Structure 1
Amino acid sequence: MFSRISTHTSTGGGSERISRLKRALDRAEAVVVGAGAGLSASAGLTYSGPRFEAHFGDFIERYHFRDMYSAGFYPYDTPEAYWAYWSRHIYWNRYDQPVGEPYRLLLELLGDKTYFVITTNVDHCFQNAGFDKARLFYTQGDYGLWQCSKPCRQRTYDNEEAVRRMLAEQKDLRIPTELIPRCPVCGRPMTMNLRCDAAFVQDEGWYAAQSRYEAFLRRYGGGRVLFLELGVGGNTPAIIKYPFWKFTNENPRAVYACVNLTEAFAPREIAGRSICIEQDIGGVLREMARL
């Protein structure tokens, strides 16, 4: 059990902490990266502001949306309207996005290191940047996958072709009725493969990635390992943050690092082996690349 009081664990200025992180990365025998939404936000994949306004101006005008997140939960009056929004959301956050600099820099910094990535992000940015798919565990789903809304099977389905057609043929913020996706097995409506309730499908690919992650931890978790947490917030701390604290506490050779724009902290039990940096992730990675 960790103390209820957490602490900003590093002393000195930001540059000193970044230098410490670079040394910890260089000395590590293995690196476990835990990535949250803050990493994609640093890469420019913001859900509000100019990017949202540029791609969803007509939805904003009609529904008065403030961001993509809340728009995804709006109770649309028809499936045609629902999929008009979601096809555009999927397209701009999964199929038409540049490779963000923070992802590219992270891959360069890892170099030939032995690494594994666990992420709650669903935007495919790691694979777009060239990370090895076999070293990735997407725990919360993927914008590129659909599942049965029931679900009748623990299966997911690629959606790129259907999404592009929905985007091309939607009019007046609706898609044609015949494009509404239905389960090929039972005929029920399809839904996103995103973890938002107990109906989330964990298919064979999900369990295979989980097994590879667990095998990596068994093999390297007791050595000189860096647990590098990037942009993880407080919504789902049990997936990345709390396990990273636990792994570091159990292994005296491990180092825990947390880089986040806000709330970069660690429990006092691992304070001596923690590096917490409250800065933009992209800026931190750029400075590390120069060292």
Structure 2
Amino acid sequence: MNKTYKARIEKAKKEIEDTEFILIGGGAGLSAAAGITYGGKRFTDNFSAFIKKYGLTDMYSSGFYPYKTQEERWAYWAKHIYVNRFEPGPTILYKDLYQLVKDRTYFVITTNVDSQFEKSGFPVDKIFEVQGNYGYLQCAQGCHDKLYYNESLVREMIKKTVDCQIPSELVPICPVCGGNMDPNLRINQYFVQDEKWYKQNKLYNEFLKQSEGKRNVYIELGVGFNTPGIIRYPFEQMTYHNEKATLIRLNKENSTGMKENADKTVTFNEDIKEVVSEILR
């Protein structure tokens, strides 16, 4: 829809007010808009020693750096997990999103792993974190499906990091196979989907079934093309197949969608935080 910013805001407001169901899809651009950025000053302020030692350039690529030892690897990852999962409180953007939908019938599917939805008031039974959560560890080989909450260990690792290394006794070891541990992130075929993951997946699919063919608003926030099959493409397909559906896309860089949905899509390539605030107002 090629409309003015004000007209698009009013259209989005009306669709949200009139709908029966709201499905929120949160991608990396949402947390970045909330202030949880992986580069720039936030990166250099928190990782100066690692930048100097390894030449790291941002938090995303740093997660794939070939650290020579587990002591070095976990010194980095402890800091990464802390600054993205445990240090930030609920952000204004996520709290505004909660205010926008809290009294409605809604569900959240997200590829973000920072728990911002939960921190900002969204009930756990309305959030499906498809790609994992920084707050948990898993066996690196996925030898069993239990996850381990890591906050106290992460804080201890940071406290005892010296020259970008943690003490060997703090390196996490799988209690079942004795192998290495990983953050619970979908980075390979060994990603652990525990009992909670399957429960949330079931709740998500029940929501889709309940809302099928009814008046729906799909709110897509900061979703790019890294994992489009999780949120972006399904939201487009559900919009296309439901004549009563509207897709509201907030995305500064990847705002173009299916031309077949053009008349059912309200697109914003402006700042996500500003747009949500305006819709809520």
- The TM-score with structure 1 as length reference comes to 0.95
Instruction: Work out whether 1:219 is the aligned partner of 2:199.
Output: no
SS in 1 for 2:2: coil
Structure with more relative contact order (C-alpha pairs < 8 Å, separation 6 or more): 1
User: Does structure 2 conserve the Cα–Cα contact (< 8 Å) formed by 1:32 and 1:225?
Assistant: yes
Tell me how far 1:119 sits from its aligned partner. 0.3
Unaligned runs of 5+ in 2: none
State, as a whole percentage, how many aligned pairs show the same letter: 44
Instruction: Work out whether 1:181 is the aligned partner of 2:169.
Output: no
Tell me how far 1:128 sits from its aligned partner. 0.8
Cα deviation code 1:7-45 (max 9, x no counterpart): xxx121122111111111111111000010011001000
Name the counterpart of 1:281. Answer: 272
Greater displacement, 33-42 / 254-263: 254-263
Instruction: Work out whether 1:265 is the aligned partner of 2:256.
Output: yes
Task: Read off the aligned partner of 1:258 and give its amino acid letter.
Answer: R
Instruction: Work out whether 1:166 is the aligned partner of 2:132.
Output: no
Task: Read off the aligned partner of 1:221 and give its amino acid letter.
Answer: E
SS in 2 for 1:145: strand
Out of 46, 54, 76, the residue aligned to residue 67 of structure 2 is: 76
Task: Read off the aligned partner of 1:132 and give its amino acid letter.
Answer: P
Name the CA distance, whole Å, in 2 between partners of 1:200 and 1:81. Answer: 22
Out of 112, 129, 152, the residue aligned to residue 103 of structure 2 is: 112
User: Does structure 2 conserve the Cα–Cα contact (< 8 Å) formed by 1:266 and 1:276?
Assistant: no
Name the counterpart of 2:115. Answer: 124
User: Does structure 2 conserve the Cα–Cα contact (< 8 Å) formed by 1:147 and 1:157?
Assistant: yes
Instruction: Work out whether 1:103 is the aligned partner of 2:99.
Output: no
Name the counterpart of 1:136. Answer: 127
SS in 2 for 1:275: strand
Task: Read off the aligned partner of 1:102 and give its amino acid letter.
Answer: L
Q: Which runs of 4+ in 1 moved over 3 A?
A: none
Name the counterpart of 2:235. Answer: 244
Task: Read off the aligned partner of 2:88 and give its amino acid letter.
Answer: Q
Name the CA distance, whole Å, in 2 between partners of 1:39 and 1:54. Answer: 22
Name the counterpart of 1:38. Answer: 29
Name the counterpart of 1:149. Answer: 140
Name the CA distance, whole Å, in 2 between partners of 1:212 and 1:289. Answer: 27
Name the counterpart of 2:247. Answer: 256
Tell me how far 1:265 sits from its aligned partner. 2.2
Unaligned runs of 5+ in 1: 1-9
Q: CA RMSD in A?
A: 0.9
Instruction: Work out whether 1:85 is the aligned partner of 2:79.
Output: no
Out of 20, 28, 52, the residue aligned to residue 19 of structure 2 is: 28
Tell me how far 1:152 sits from its aligned partner. 1.1
Out of 15, 35, 38, the residue aligned to residue 47 of structure 1 is: 38
- The TM-score with structure 2 as length reference comes to 0.98
Name the CA distance, whole Å, in 1 between partners of 2:102 and 2:157. Answer: 39
Out of 168, 173, 188, the residue aligned to residue 197 of structure 1 is: 188
Task: Read off the aligned partner of 1:114 and give its amino acid letter.
Answer: T
User: Does structure 2 conserve the Cα–Cα contact (< 8 Å) formed by 1:255 and 1:274?
Assistant: yes
Name the CA distance, whole Å, in 2 between partners of 1:62 and 1:180. Answer: 20
Name the counterpart of 1:4. Answer: none
Name the CA distance, whole Å, in 1 between partners of 2:165 and 2:243. Answer: 57
Out of 182, 186, 200, the residue aligned to residue 209 of structure 1 is: 200
Name the CA distance, whole Å, in 2 between partners of 1:70 and 1:268. Answer: 33
Tell me how far 1:98 sits from its aligned partner. 2.7
How many residue pairs end up in the alignment?
A: 281
SS in 1 for 2:50: helix
Greater displacement, 265-274 / 156-165: 265-274
Task: Read off the aligned partner of 2:206 and give its amino acid letter.
Answer: A
